[in-house]
Amino acid sequence: MTGWRIAGRWALTLLALGLLSLALIVSAWRLAAGQADALREPLERVLAERTRAETRIGALTADTRGVDPSLALHDLRLSLDERPLLELRRAELRLDTLASLRAGVPVTSRARVQGLTLHLYQGEGRNWHWPRPAELPFEASPDFDLSRLDAWIGLLLRQRLDARQVRLVLHGRDRRVELQAPSLLLTGDERRLHLEGWAHVAGQEQTTLEVVAEVLPGQRGLADFNAALQARMELSSLAELVRQLSGDEPLRLERAEGEATLWGRWHRGALEDVRLALEVPALAIGHDQASLALADIRAEGQWLRDGEAWNAWLNLAASADAEGVAQGPALPSRWRLRGDGTDWWATTDGFELPALADWSERLPLPQGLVRLLGTLDPQGWVEGFAFGRRDGHWLARGALREVAVSPWEDAPGGGPLDAWVEARDLAGEVRFIGVGDTTLHFPRLFTAPMALGAAAGVVGWTYADGLTRVSGRDLHADWRGAEVSGDFGLVLGNGGPGVLGLELDLRDVDARDTALNEWLPMGAFGEELGEWLSGGIAGRVSRGHLALHQPLFEGAGAEEMRLDLELAIEEGRLPYLPGWPALDGVQGRLTLTDLSLEAAIDRAESRGLTIRDGRVTLSPDGELAVNGSVEGGPEALVGYLAATPLEGLEALNDWAWPEAGRLEGRLDLALPLSDPEALALDVETTLDLPRARYRPLGLDLSTVTGPLAYRYGDGEGTLEGRLDGQALGGAVTATLAGERIDFEGQAEASRLLAWGGVSGEGLPITGRLAYRGGLTLTDAGARLRLDSSLEGLALELPAPFAKSAEARRPLWLEMDTASGRLDAEWEGLARLRWREQSAQGPQGQLWLERWPESPTWPVRPGLEISWRPARLDPAPWAAALAPLVQADGAGASPALTLDLATDCLLLDARCLGSLRARATPEAGRWRLDLGGSLAEGQASYRPASARPLAIELERLDLDALLPAPSEGVALFEEVAVPPAPEPLADWARRLPAGRLEVASLARQGQRFGPLSAEWQATEEGLRLAPLRLTLGELEASGELVWEAAGAEASLTRGRLALAGGDLGTALERLAQPVAIRNAETRVDARLAWPGAPWQFDLARSRGSLEVNLTDGHFRYIDSPSAKLIGLLNFDNLLRRLRLDFSDVTQRGTAFDSVMGVATLYDGILETQGPVEVRGPATSFSLDGQVDLARRELDHHLAVTLPLSQNLPLAAVVAGAPVVGGALFIAHRLFGGVIDRVTRIHYRVEGPWTSPRITLEDAE
């Protein structure tokens, strides 16, 4: 049998089997159609099981027309707890068997649906479904592609459908909306297929949605059909439906106007072209916080198939009418999309980032995204953006211009930058370069954004395993002129804390004007370390490196991080402790490992000190340590310590260093920053100082050497060491040991006096002395003990204070500053005590020679000096202390009281009598009280008064001051030639103006007075005026002037006037022989002599004398120097010649007047015209001169007769040299011829002890 016959038989066999099967199926269907109503309940159970809803079917019928089966369903209802789910009044379905067999899929020739209502209920958000446990019989599939779309559309187009009264009821939580479709029609024939339908919202008759489609079969029928679709939507009627569909979503469609039109085209069974046109004049959307109104929305789009791929374009234009929305597009206006199977790619044009962020506040985006956009605050422009899916991966690319963002989740922010962005799935990177004034801000690290001159780098991110990783690499920047490069990494998510890693390299950082803390990640250092670094550290960093690993979680402390920092610093400034002088000019390295800081200092300076090989450390627990070698001068160390807040260093300012010295040593400081009171400081030095000066005492020291250390701890500072040097002309050694300072040394007397401001020249103190002492310092004060035997010191003072150099006379002194007590004693000679704390104020006592065993304190403040010697000779004391008194700056303290008392005041080995003197300060003046046998009264000194000095004495004893006159000695025999004239003394220029008043003066039992005088000192000299004295019946007045006469000489001028009654009373008060008695006296004298007032010398004096006496007589004077005039008893001249002078010596010679004028020059007293003596019966005249220096006479004497029997001696003046010379002349002059003439003229020449007398003429 041939093959064709065999194949034909099998084909017929298969056909027979097919027809048999079809016959069986048709027979079975007809049999089942007759029993269709019996299948109603099983069908109800199946639907109830599938939907889990209460199912009821009113009726179920089946029928067959030819080979086409049909099925009819009536009154189908699905519900749950009386809530409707699905309602169907009637549905008819006829299957086109032959078409189905040809198409291979079910094809209905007639399907009618009437009264279909679907109820959906709102769930969470936008979910619409049936209430649980009911389930919709269909579910959306997440898989979708063009081939599946084409298959479903091809299957749908093979059907014939007529649906009437179809409704969709949406049951919201607070409203119900119903969408009605009165008619849905799918009809046609083999040449053409037509689809149309429309729908509207219940209550709104206006058509909301309208769809029309035409389908033309292809060469293979509907398998390669061609079709066109147009859909139009009226937006204004959809607002209520959209609000219902949006459910609880915050975004609401508040208003919409316009329409949207969609066109679609199929070719050969595949979708080929889709176009969209959108025109919306107004659209308002919003949520609870804000709303957004858009106007003139226009959009045009097209989708085209390209073989197995496709392309799409979309042009979008809209304007916003919302305050605060940035100008410019927030979304791209041009979109281009391309797809290939499951891959697709979208490209857009540019848009503004700020606008997108502004719109985010008005759109109901997730709060995390809104916060992100609000935090980032993006700025800039997206030039272009592309994204899509390729080979199963999501890809994105973009070009950004002038983009700036704020930090987010501890990731850095900054800008503006130009960047290129690439992303792949959940990873990507950004390559950027800074433009303009670029800033970079690490929020938790740097206190302020970094202002960059230039910036570039790459930032990448990945998201995997629930973690977000952000990293930066190849970062380069110009930051304030410094080069900065490095990397960073950030890990976030997975429910755990984030981690930030950062590495930076720095070069040429200039942190001199900008503090170093502004260059460092201060947020990573912790509170104490950050505060320390913010103290003003500055300098130039030639290179530096920073490595940081920091966890990011709320409350993360500095101890949880890892940190490495290394900086090479030049020209730095390191303020290591607040209130302490900073280190300047630092050269070294600053390193930080975790929270342990160390600064290695090669060289630095602080207040003139040079620090080398130093080290500053700060531990994580806040322990600060500073140490290093120091060198410099003492003034630098003192300045450094004085600039610290340490207490008790004020005394260091009392030292001066006239010459630069040198010290070397080491400084060690330790301090816990949490406890400033626990400061520990050690400064150990070795001094080598050429000179030093202690200012309060004016004490100079030289060649000071030795170790000296200052240690501070437990709130107290101490000095330790041993110093050697020279002071006051001798060596001195001081040992310092905490609170104890022991010292010993030697001092020269002259240097000791010079230190006290007294010139040693001429002083009775010579030699040198040794001393030793100790100073104990306490919290309350200090105690000082000083001892010296004074061996080697000679005191050339009056007894008992005189001392030889070999003699030992111990001196001790103790002082306690806490109690303010000072005690000192010079063995057997002086005792001193002083106290600062008393009710009256500071007070003390000094006793000389004798002091009480139990003394009482004085009642007034100040120092009281008490001296009560048995005998006091002021002359040696004046000579010994004159250099001290004349020393510059000498003077008494205004709080000084002097108390002196002696029973015997010596003068020229004579005991003048007792004297008591007490000088006390009072308000604005000094007061001196005097008493004793010499004088009594008081004196005062008021510095603020015009005449500060006032002396008021009640009495003054001249007998004690002036020696008793020697009998038989003439005045001129006592005149001695004085030394050269002295210049005007300085004290005469500085003597305070004052006055003197003495109520009574005593002389040899006589009292006279009062005496008053005033004086005034100027630079030109000293003037006493007026000067007044009462002598008996006479009043003496005048003035005395001592003035300068060049730089090396002076001149004294005096004027004296005597006026009053009896001249004899003045002689009587002066305890002189009374040579004359008269009724009225007037004498005027003027004298001047070179030198001081006490340098009066007749031989060098010049002046004039004018005498006018009336109505008196010359008395007998039993003195060889006053008997010339008494011899002029011319009634008994003969008796004179016989040497009988009894009448002259027992009675006087009367006169009516005595007048004359004389001048004094070069020691010669010369009359100016004759001195006239006129008496009742006789007169005589005397004319000539007397050489006082040579004691010679040169006179012309004229006598007028007759002479009376009782002519007294004329011109008798006790002690006058002229009368003394005339007395001898009279004994040899008058003889017998005297009775025979009326006027006789004589010449008297020669020494006044033996003159030559010759008769010249007689009339």
Quote the Cα angle for 370-371-373, to 5°. 65
79, burial (CB in 10 Å: exposed 0-12, middle 13-18, buried 19+): middle
Burial annotation 177-193 (CB, 10 A radius, 16+ → b, else e): bbbbbeebebebeeeeb
C-alpha distances in Å from residue 147, one per residue of 150, 262, 309, 393, 551: 5, 21, 11, 21, 51
- pLDDT band for 1213, please (50, 70, 90 cuts): very low
DSSP bridge partners of 168: 118, 179
- pLDDT band for 59, please (50, 70, 90 cuts): confident
1231 Cβ contact partners less than 8 Å away, ≥ 6 residues apart: 1133, 1134, 1136, 1137
CA dist 346 and 395 (Å) reads 10
Cβ atoms of 946 and 1053 within 8 Å: the answer is no
| Phi, psi of 801, deg, nearest 5 | -90, 0
The answer, yes or no, to whether residue 502 has pLDDT greater than 70, is yes
647 Cβ contact partners less than 8 Å away, ≥ 6 residues apart: 717
Residue 390: its pLDDT value, please? 83
Residue 1058: its pLDDT value, please? 93
Cβ atoms of 897 and 863 within 8 Å: the answer is yes
Residue 379: its pLDDT value, please? 81
Task: Give Dmax (Cα) for the chain.
Answer: 242
Residue 993: its pLDDT value, please? 92
Cβ atoms of 190 and 208 within 8 Å: the answer is no
Cβ atoms of 1152 and 1207 within 8 Å: the answer is no
The answer, yes or no, to whether residue 740 has pLDDT greater than 50, is yes
Per-residue pLDDT tens over the stretch 1075-1123: 788 999 999 999 999 999 888 887 788 999 999 999 988 775 544 433 3
Cβ atoms of 413 and 441 within 8 Å: the answer is yes
Among residues of the chain, what percentage have pLDDT more than 70? 76
The answer, yes or no, to whether residue 796 has pLDDT greater than 90, is no
Per-residue pLDDT tens over the stretch 819-840: 888 899 988 889 999 888 777 7
Least confident range of 280-284, 358-362, 824-828: 358-362
DSSP bridge partners of 234: 259
CA dist 56 and 85 (Å) reads 12
The answer, yes or no, to whether residue 555 has pLDDT greater than 80, is no
Cβ atoms of 723 and 694 within 8 Å: the answer is no
The shares of helix, strand and coil residues in the chain, as percent rounded to the nearest 5, are: 15, 55, 30
More confident residue, 952 or 220: 952
Q: Averaging pLDDT over each range in 187-201, 319-333, 660-674, 993-1007, which range is the top one?
A: 993-1007
68 Cβ contact partners less than 8 Å away, ≥ 6 residues apart: 94, 95, 96, 97, 109
Cβ atoms of 574 and 604 within 8 Å: the answer is yes
Mean pLDDT of the chain: 77
Q: How many other β-carbons are positioned within 10 Å of the β-carbon of residue 326?
A: 16
Q: How many other β-carbons are positioned within 10 Å of the β-carbon of residue 321?
A: 12
| Phi, psi of 701, deg, nearest 5 | -125, 150
Q: Which two tokens stand for residue 394?
A: 């999501």
Mean pLDDT of 479-508: 82
- pLDDT band for 1201, please (50, 70, 90 cuts): low
The beta strands (E) that lie in 512-622 are given as 538-552, 562-574, 583-593, 596-606, 609-618
CA dist 191 and 215 (Å) reads 9
Q: Averaging pLDDT over each range in 34-43, 352-361, 1070-1079, which range is the top one?
A: 1070-1079
CA dist 273 and 230 (Å) reads 12
Mean pLDDT of 932-951: 89
Return the DSSP state at 70.
E
Least confident range of 183-187, 363-367, 771-775, 1124-1128: 1124-1128
Q: How many other β-carbons are positioned within 10 Å of the β-carbon of residue 45?
A: 11
- pLDDT band for 1128, please (50, 70, 90 cuts): very low
- pLDDT band for 1230, please (50, 70, 90 cuts): very low
This prediction's pTM: 0.51
Peptide bond into 1026 cis (omega under 30): yes
CA dist 865 and 919 (Å) reads 10
Among candidates 728, 735, 741, which has minimal Cα distance to 701? 728
Per-residue pLDDT tens over the stretch 854-864: 888 888 888 88
Assign residue 1162 a region: left if phi > 0, alpha if psi is -120 to 50, beta otherwise? left
Q: How many other β-carbons are positioned within 10 Å of the β-carbon of residue 486?
A: 19
- pLDDT band for 938, please (50, 70, 90 cuts): very high
More confident residue, 478 or 1198: 478
Least confident range of 71-80, 462-471, 518-527, 572-581: 518-527
The answer, yes or no, to whether residue 1219 has pLDDT greater than 60, is no
- pLDDT band for 314, please (50, 70, 90 cuts): confident
> What does the chain come to in residues?
1259
CA dist 477 and 457 (Å) reads 9
Cβ atoms of 656 and 634 within 8 Å: the answer is no
Which H, E and C letters describe 1152-1201, residue by residue?
EEEEEEEEEECCEEEECCCEEEECCCCEEEEEEEEECCCCEEEEEEEEEC
Per-residue pLDDT tens over the stretch 149-190: 556 556 565 666 777 888 888 888 777 888 888 887 777 665
Q: Which two tokens stand for residue 797?
A: 């003072």
Q: Which two tokens stand for residue 1122?
A: 């006053």
| DSSP states along 312-374 | EEEEEEEEE--TTPPSS-SS-SEEEEEEETTEEEEEE--EEHHHHHHHHTTTT--HHHHHHHH
| Phi, psi of 1146, deg, nearest 5 | -110, -25
Q: Which two tokens stand for residue 752?
A: 């000791």
Q: How many other β-carbons are positioned within 10 Å of the β-carbon of residue 152?
A: 10
Q: Which two tokens stand for residue 242?
A: 């959209």
CA dist 425 and 402 (Å) reads 26
| DSSP states along 752-788 | HHHHTT---TT-SEEEEEEEEEEEEE-SS-EEEEEEE
CA dist 450 and 456 (Å) reads 14
Helices then strands, each counted (H, E), the chain: 17, 70
